[in-house]
Structure 1
Amino acid sequence: MVPGRHLLRGVRMSGESFRVDLRGIVDILSHHLYSSPRVYLRELIQNARDAVVARSESDPSAPREIAIEIEDGGAVLVRDSGIGLTEEEMRSVLATIGASSKRSDFTRVRRQYLGQFGIGLLSCFLIADRIEVRSRSARSADAPTLSWVGNSDGTFTITSAQTPLPDAGTEVRVQARADDREWVEPVRVQLLAERFASLLELPITLRTGAHAQSEIVSTRTPPWRGSGLEATAWCHRELGFAPLAVLPIDVPTAGVVGVAFISDSPGRVGNRHGDTVYSHGMFVADDNVQLAPNWAYFVRLAVEGGDLALTASRESLQDSPAIGDVKAQIGTQLRQGIEHFALSDPVGFDRFMDVHAKGILAMAAGDDDMLDLVIGHVPWETSEGTMTLAQILRLSDDVRYTTSMTDFTAFAPLLRAKRSLLVNGSYVYGSEILRKVRERRGHTARVRAFDPHAFLDSLPEPREGGAEARGFEVHARAVLERLGVDLDLRAFAPASTPSLFVAAGDDHLSQLADDGAEADPWAGLLSEPEASPARPRLVMNVTSDAVRSLVHVRDERVRAEAISGLYVIGLLRAGQTLDERHGELLSSTLHTLITAAGGGE
């Protein structure tokens, strides 16, 4: 008695096999494995290709041919010059679900095969109730031609073929059901054959009717093997756009090779279109999202999957540690490719930035890899002109940024005159990016949020003047009071800026929050926060000729109108939108000044 095995005394036990409901299996394939009945043609081409490769291993001089024909009456024939099948192999491969001749006979070249699951032929039952196979084995010169006929009810027969094949190989005939004839229509078969087999290196011919000429649907040049123009043409034909750039992809450790196309349209940030993946030249999918990093939303890959294993449906790649390694290497190569693109084609790279800058900023707000790209290549408006953050950090040890377009417009000339650098961070995601740059080691002391009120308070006040100056100040305050604006007299460069409007509010406080991160953590509890100005203010530059001239104007009406004009100029320089009231002020000012200049009343 075998230890651990318990038998019931007097009970007779029999060994039995599971029963398989083939129709149920086909239903499972249809609803849970394959995405569409169209895969039947891919499986037939794949099996034919594997058979040809297998024969070439034992006989390199053997013909390497696959032919597809469409018969009248709704049947498709796929004929190959491959290894063929013996009677025993027909039983073990064609009639055993889950079997595959690639598992044993051809293990040493297994990676050259596309199919490894032995269920491919069953996909034909998605459109047919009957599959006919004629095959002649290449293992012996006198091998007979055998006929295998399988039915969707799970039965099959093996007999000697009435019409022998002239040489080794296999012919599969699939007769579509009446309600599935659409899958064997000539136009559809041609589209599917070109889709699945266009990059296979074997010559595959297609004849769409008894009187039609055969045409080759394979042996096309993959985009990663052709010239740049050929890759661009492939992208336009297959993906529907003209790429801004074509970047090479090569991960030799996994046999992965391909190209990355940079899209010519912005797309949706964080929502990558799928990539096109092939396996040994056979089309796998055009919606794959396993190989490119999420930040590369503007990239579409076309790659040969090499040694990466396929799922049972062969419509995607198996998730594995190898996938993660390949994805990381592709991400590195994309960044390097973009760097090279920037250096080798500045004009093209400018187009790339015009299209994708906003999206790149959005991704960089949460991705450090993209942040490096932003620092090195995204242009920013500054008080010293347009430059990248890398250039900014090389140029200045004291970088200030503002997230207010109004503040940038108003203060950029002043900081330029003081030889300080102000960065316009008012763009979408600008503040997040600049804060992340500031948080990087070594940049905390160099990158600061700009505080307009503190900057104005640091400007020198004018020296105490005579009675005329004091009289002008009193008059100016009265005029601005009627406009709801405070007066602030300062002396600053450039003198060409006579006035500066500063809006009320605490907008600057949010961008200063990070600056306070390194301060005493108890300061906020132990001291009163400094109150921001309750009202907007007009800063008049006493070094400006226009302001200095007003001190000596004796006509109070003219002087009042001129002060109102300086207020409107301040609004314009700050980028404020003028309303109807401001338009009336400006019109009144011009009328008064023109009349005074002409000597009129």
Structure 2
Amino acid sequence: MTASDQNRFQVELRGLIDLLSQHLYSGPHVFVRELLQNGVDAIQARRQIEPQHEGLIEIEVITSAESDPTIIFQDNGVGLTEDEVHQFLATIGQSSKRGEMTSRPEDFLGQFGIGLLSCFTVSDEIVVLTRSAKGDNQPGIEWRGSTDGTYSVRKLTQAIPVGTQIFLQPSTGYEDYFEPQKVLKLAREYGSLLQPKITVTSNGQTDVVNAKAPWHQDTTNPQVRENLLAYGTEVFERNFLDVFPLHSTSGGVTGVAYVLSEAVHAGSRQPHRVYLKDMLLSTKTHEVLPEWAFFVQCVVNASQLRPTASRESFYEDTVLERTRQELGDCLRRYLVEMAQTQPRRFEQLIAVHHLAVKALAVDDDECLELFADWLPFQTSLGTMTLAEFRKQNSVIRYVPSCDQFRQIAQVAASESLAVINAGYVYDVDILTRLSMIRSDFKLEEFDAEQLSDRFEQLSQSEREETLEFERLADMTLQRFKCAVEIAKFLPSDLPSLYVTDANADFIRSVEQAQDVTEGVWNDMLGDLTRDVPSSYARLYLNYSNPLIKRICQLGQSDGQRRSVEMVYIQALLLGHFPLKKSEVKLLNEGLLGLLDWAVGGQDNE
């Protein structure tokens, strides 16, 4: 063999079919989609020759108790000549939509030249009868292809209509895909919104597949709106609050978006029903809307987006990116218009989807300015909108984490102090941004230590009565880097309040991590706190609480010490602080110690 010798790759058809069925396509059912695609494209090609041609696709399922079922798929499209049969049906990857057969490839659904091969995922043999519309007296051609990689071509002596007929019988194990109701369901799923008339016939009954596309309907008409909501419930199997139109010039996208009737979390991604040139592409596409639009599901039709080879998703390119942005703008305009013209309706929507509105507003100052006062926040005095909160408070006090809020919520509520829980996603960013764009928006991060300024101080006699106990309690919790102070505060049924600052929180988190590490990692964690200023947490014991009073007046120091340890643990648990290893040990020992002390006390009596 010389260096100039040329050879051709060999393709093993069965291996290629396995690749298509197991890796490219989502399942064997796509053969119906591929046949519909070829039929529609053939009709489009014939219209270039005969502009007034009325297309028709007929699917017939023949069943018999004596033999396997047969699907006959027939279109009255452009058909193929004998040369085209050899070129397009016997050459893998060759597509008539890319050749000279058409001057407008954008009019066609297919472009990869592997569609007919999908039939081999359900059938061992494909029989094609075709007659070309190009020229007069074109003969009919029969093409038979097999999964073993062989095919035959012959001219037909009998006349057949212009167009193409495809005959399939099921491979072993794929009979279900040839059941009449299954074929009808798949034809409706993929082709109900296509323009040529499509029928499915079996056992003497003919069903028309076509239906009216939702993107061609007027959503401002009340009856149409109700019909569209019913359609959305049918295809997505859930209820919706509203429906509105979508449009994108970049991707040639039109459609409708449905507003979910229930709240969903920010990380959720809703599956959308997406069509490409009226053919169903996917019912599980996520990439057509921006991430913040997790409160809607849409049905859209694209004419300019590029499908992947599997035809079940779109290529992630600049056109799709622009389309996503333009569809996001549609959602934004929908919300803005509703807020401006239908405030009561917008209030109902935001009550369910405030998280999605926050996700939009956090990066859009115009929307933030418009929507801010509608946004609900959890506060120490109950949930209220920002407008309601500002009406009652000139300063917007907040804590940046849910744990901090849990620590102070009861006491703040008893003191009639309004504090926002900004520990949920987007809340801190929204409040901070508002303080920058609104001159009258006074924002203040609330420190739990500030609550102590509102506590009632002990009287002189009470101070003298509790001085020794406070000293004992303080010494008891020294090893946990926690100082103790006795004060009076509400609610009186809360025995204690545990508060920390940022440094104490950081040191505590490092110590927790050290509990589960050893060796060099433990040392490295210790180094993290070397330059952090030493800081103690503080445990406030509530002298208005009957239990704390009894502990103070208890005459035995051992019982007081055990009680303080348990009150400390309870305060940590109420504040949702994870216990360190030493505190878990204290909990176990403290319970046993209290039991031992109590039993010993009974014996002494």
Fold match, TM over 0.5? yes
Matched, 1:170 2:171: no
1:404 maps to which residue? 405
Conservation of the 8 A alpha-carbon contact between 1:266 and 1:359 = no
CA deviations 1:43-95 (Å, max 9, x no partner) are 11110011111112221221211111001232111111111111111111111
Of 57, 61, 79, the residue aligned with 1:66 is 57
The reply on whether 1:265 has 2:262 as its aligned counterpart is yes
Tell me how large the CA RMSD over aligned residues is: 4.2
Single out whichever of 190-199 and 225-234 deviates more from structure 2. 225-234
Q: How does 1:215-294 map to 2 (within 5 A)?
A: 215-222=207-214, 225=217, 227-294=224-291
Deviation at 1:534, TM superposition (A): 3.9
- Letter in structure 1 aligned against 2:397: R
Partner of 1:457: 453
- For 1:443 and 1:525, the matched residues in 2 are separated by 41
**Once the 2 structures are TM-superposed, how far is the Cα of residue 498 of structure 1 from its aligned partner?**
11
Which residue matches 1:97? 92
One-letter identity of the residue aligned with 1:217: V
For residues 201-227 of structure 1, the C-alpha deviation after alignment (integer angstroms, 9 at most, x for no partner) is 221011123xx2211112333256353
Alignment match, 2:498: 505
Aligned partners of 1:146 and 1:161 also within 8 Å: yes
Q: Which amino acid aligns with 2:208?
A: I
Work out which of the residue numbers 11, 36, 44 in structure 2 matches 1:20.
11
- The answer to whether the 8 Å contact 2:194/2:278 transfers is yes
Q: Which amino acid aligns with 1:145?
A: G
Note the C-alpha offset of 1:310: 0.9
Given that 1:133 and 1:148 are in contact with CA atoms closer than 8 Å, whether structure 2 keeps it comes out as yes
State the partner residue of 2:174.
180
d(CA) in 2 for partners of 1:394, 1:336: 28
Contact 1:364/1:433, CA 8 A, preserved across alignment = no
On the 8 A contact 2:239/2:261 being kept in 1, the answer is: yes
Give me the whole-angstrom Cα distance separating, in 1, the residues matched to 2:267 and 2:504: 26
Determine the C-alpha separation between the residues in 2 that align with 1:150 and 1:526: 77
Instruction: Tell me the distance in 1 between the aligned counterparts of 2:82 and 2:455.
Output: 98
| Structure 2 residue identity aligned to 1:448 | E
Shift of 1:381: 5.1
Question: Structure 1 residues 14 and 512 mapped into 2: Cα distance closer, same or farther (>3 Å)?
Answer: closer
Q: Distance in 2 between matches of 1:357 and 1:481?
A: 52
User: 1: CA distance between counterparts of 2:328 and 2:273?
Assistant: 16
**291-300 or 33-42: bigger deviation:** 291-300
C-alpha deviation, 1:267, in angstroms: 4.2
Helix, strand or coil for the counterpart of 1:178? coil
Give the distance between the partners of 1:481 and 1:352, measured in 2 at CA: 58
One-letter code aligned to 1:235: G
Hey, what's the Cα distance between the residues in 2 that align with 1:27 and 1:330? 38
Residue of structure 1 equivalent to 2:196: 202
Distance (Å, rounded) in 2 between the aligned partners of 1:380 and 1:429: 9
Shift of 1:128: 1.2
Letter in 1 for 2:227: E
1:301-354 CA-to-partner distances (Å, cap 9, x unmatched) read: 211122101111211112211111112222232233233344555555445444
Contact 1:261 1:301 survives alignment (8 Å): yes
| Counterpart residue number, 1:565 | none
Name 2:81's counterpart in structure 1: 86
- Aligned residues of 2:13 and 2:147 also touching (Cα < 8 A): yes
SS, match of residue 324 in structure 2: helix
The residue matched to 1:214 in structure 2 has which SS?
Answer: strand
Measured after TM superposition, the shift of residue 181 of structure 1 is 1.3
Percent of residue pairs bearing the same amino acid type: 29
For residues 268-294 of structure 1, give each alpha carbon's deviation from its aligned partner in whole angstroms, at most 9, with x where no partner exists. 541313211101110111111221222
Map of 1:518 onto structure 2 = none
Q: Does 1:317 align with 2:314?
A: yes
Tell me whether 1:77 sits opposite 2:72 in the alignment. Answer: yes
SS of residue matched to 1:91? helix
Q: Distance in 2 between matches of 1:261 and 1:511?
A: 48
Q: Deviations over 1:515-569 (max 9, x none)?
A: xxxxxxxxx99998886754234699xxxxxxxxxxxxxxxxxxxxxxxxxxxxx
8 Å CA contact retained: 2:130, 2:165: yes
Moved more, 281-290 or 219-228: 219-228
Q: CA deviation at 1:22?
A: 1.8
Where do 1:107-126 residues align within 5 Å?
107-126=102-121
- Give the 3 Å change call, closer, same or farther, for CA 213–397 of structure 1 in structure 2: same
Matched, 1:214 2:206: yes
In structure 2, distance between residues paired with 1:385 and 1:360: 21
AA matched with 1:176: P
SS in 1 for 2:498: coil
Bigger mean CA offset, 524-533 vs 290-299: 524-533
Alignment check: 8 A CA contact 2:128 2:165 kept: yes
Distance 1:512 1:339 in 2: 41
Q: Deviations over 1:89-141 (max 9, x none)?
A: 11111111111111123553211211001111111111112111111211123
Match of 1:447 in 2: 443
User: Paired residue for 1:546?
Assistant: none
Q: Flag the 1:309–1:530 CA change in 2: closer, same or farther, 3 A.
A: closer
Give the aligned residue type for 1:504: L
Is the CA contact (8 Å cut-off) linking 1:124 and 1:131 kept in structure 2?
Answer: yes
SS at match of 2:322: helix
**In 2, are the aligned partners of 1:203 and 1:219 still within 8 Å (CA)?**
no
Partner of 2:79: helix, strand, or coil? coil
How many residues in Structure 1 have an aligned counterpart in Structure 2?
A: 495
Q: Which whole-Å CA distance do the structure 1 matches of 2:445 and 2:77 have between them?
A: 71
CA 1:454/1:35 → structure 2, altered by over 3 Å: closer, same or farther? closer
- Given that residues 262 and 352 in structure 2 are in contact (C-alpha distance below 8 angstroms), is that contact kept between their aligned partners in structure 1? yes
SS in 2 for 1:176: coil
Q: 1:303 is matched with which residue?
A: 300
Between the aligned partners of 1:142 and 1:505, the Cα distance in structure 2 is 95
Contact 1:244 1:264 in 2 (8 A): yes
Displacement, 1:482? 9.4
Question: Does the alignment pair 1:330 with 2:327?
Answer: yes
Q: How does 1:127-138 map to 2 (within 5 A)?
A: 127-138=122-133
**Structure 1 residues 244 and 329, CA, compared in 2 at 3 Å: closer, same or farther?**
same
Q: Report the equivalent of 2:141.
A: 146
Q: Is the 8 A contact 2:504 2:536 kept in 1?
A: no
Contact 1:147 1:159 (C-alpha < 8 Å) held by counterparts:
yes
Structure 1 stretch displaced more, 88-97 or 527-536: 527-536
C-alpha distance in 1 between matches for 2:341 and 2:419? 27
C-alpha separation between the residues in 1 aligned to 2:41 and 2:411?
71
Structure 1 SS opposite 2:47? helix
SS of residue paired to 1:441: helix
Please give the alpha-carbon distance, in whole angstroms, between the structure 1 residues aligned to 2:301 and 2:32: 20
Matches of 1:250 and 1:219 in 2, distance apart?
21
Moved more, 385-394 or 258-267: 385-394
> What SS does the aligned partner of 1:296 have?
coil
Which secondary structure does the structure 1 equivalent of 2:309 belong to? Answer: coil
Alignment partner of 1:474 out of 442, 461, 485: 461
Change beyond 3 A, Cα 1:108–1:260: same
Q: What stretches of structure 1 of length at least 5 have no aligned partner?
A: 1-7, 417-421, 462-469, 490-496, 514-523, 541-574, 577-601
Q: Secondary structure at the match of 2:124?
A: strand
Within 1, Cα distance between the matches of 2:114 and 2:445? 64
